[in-house]
Amino acid sequence: MIQSSAQMNLIRSKSLVLGLALALVAVCAISAEAQSGRRQPKTAPAAPVPTPTPEPTPEPKTEEKKSELGFIIAADRYTNMNSYPWSYFDAVMVGCAGRLRSASSATVDVAENDMSRGEAIKKAKAEKTTYVVSIKLQLDNMGSSGSYDDLEAEFTVFAPQTGKVVIFGTGYQNVNRAGPIIVGPKSRGSSGALYREQLLKRVGEDIAERILKALNLNVPILH
């Protein structure tokens, strides 16, 4: 009887321990379920680290090199006894300067003041790479009419530094040159000043062609 009572007590103790263990498991299960039912706060995503944009490498500025070659166009208005309209001188100089600019990369300036031959030589000697072109007007001595139809433009080109003559010659009015002469509606035709100025402008262009050819710039002379 004593052994049976001890066995009964052992069984009861095991049952009690088992019950406590089952109760503990149940409590843990309920707690875990409660925790899983809670809404977990979302973690904010990390802000992306901006990638620095490489700055473009600035391209070196290419400075436009100006041509060292230059021309100064000047008029010798007072050498001759005869007096001609200043607009005629201007027409020749404008034609010459325009053609020199369009046919070369040279820097071309038109002198505003009158320049005698001596002054032109002095100016050329003071320049390093700029030629001085001296222009004067005169009537053709062989002309029969003695009118502005016989007006010619003499030109002389002086070299920089030395003032020596590079080329000289005479430009003639060539009414047979290709291309029309356009003047304003108030012009008096071929006898008007505007028409004469256009002819003299062409004379200046022809002079420029001859100057460029003399300097071996290979520009064809217009006819």
Q: Give the model confidence (pLDDT) of 125-152 as tens digits.
A: 999 999 999 999 998 877 566 788 889 9
Position 12 in a domain: no
Position 26 in a domain: no
What's the pTM?
Answer: 0.63
Position 25 in a domain: no
Mean pLDDT value of segment 16-26 = 68
Predicted confidence at residue 54, as pLDDT, reads 73
Mention every residue, 6+ apart, whose C-beta is less than 8 A from residue 221.
Answer: 206, 209, 210, 213
Predicted confidence at residue 223, as pLDDT, reads 42
Position 33 in a domain: no
Predicted confidence at residue 83, as pLDDT, reads 82
Predicted confidence at residue 185, as pLDDT, reads 46
Position 221 in a domain: no
- Here the CATH number for the domain that contains residue 198 is 3.40.50
Position 49 in a domain: no
The 10s digit of each residue's pLDDT in 177-190 is 555 445 444 444 45
Q: Which domain holds residue 122?
A: 70-214
Position 155 in a domain: yes
Position 172 in a domain: yes
Q: What number of other Cβ atoms are within 10 A of residue 110's Cβ?
A: 16
Q: How many domains does the chain have?
A: 1
Residue 27, pLDDT > 80, answer: no
